[in-house]
Amino acid sequence: MNGGGDVRVLRAADRPATVWKNGGGVTREIAAWPVGAGMDSFRWRASLAEVAADGPFSAFPGIDRTLTLAEGAGMDLVVGGVHRIVDERFAPQDFAGDEPTDCRLISGPVVNFN
């Protein structure tokens, strides 16, 4: 590899589960910047969220969110009062992190790449 960099495999199973800001599920952080930033201080972050039940999303004021369905049947989201069906895998969905967002699972748990 150019520049002497090493490729690192970051397996989801090796990532510790962190309870969501609102306590409604868990996230497995893949990477964040700045390194060591908390839930209220990151500039960017990549993670896998395990959604096992209906409920509200955590608010992230000032953060642009991109959610991508990775596993499961999908979700019926209400983002800022507007319904959005997320049932296509690997199709990114963008929305503002400070918009009130509520989730109803279509058919069982899902995993989202955020």
Over residues 46-100, the pLDDT tens digits come to 999 999 889 999 888 888 999 999 999 999 999 999 999 999 999 999 999 999 9
Q: Pick the closest to residue 45 from 61, 27, 33, 57 (CA basis).
A: 33
Residue 28's domain comprises 2-113
Give the CATH number, domain containing residue 62.
Answer: 2.60.120.10
What pLDDT does residue 77 have?
97
What pLDDT does residue 1 have?
45
What pLDDT does residue 33 have?
79
Q: Is the model's pLDDT at 20 over the cut of 80?
A: no
User: Are 31 and 49 a contacting pair, CB within 8 Å?
Assistant: no
As for how many domains the chain has, the answer is 1
User: Based on the number of CB atoms within 10 Å of its own CB, is 37 exposed (0-12), middle (13-18) or buried (19 or more)?
Assistant: middle
Over residues 98-113, the pLDDT tens digits come to 999 999 999 999 999 9
pTM across the whole model:
0.79
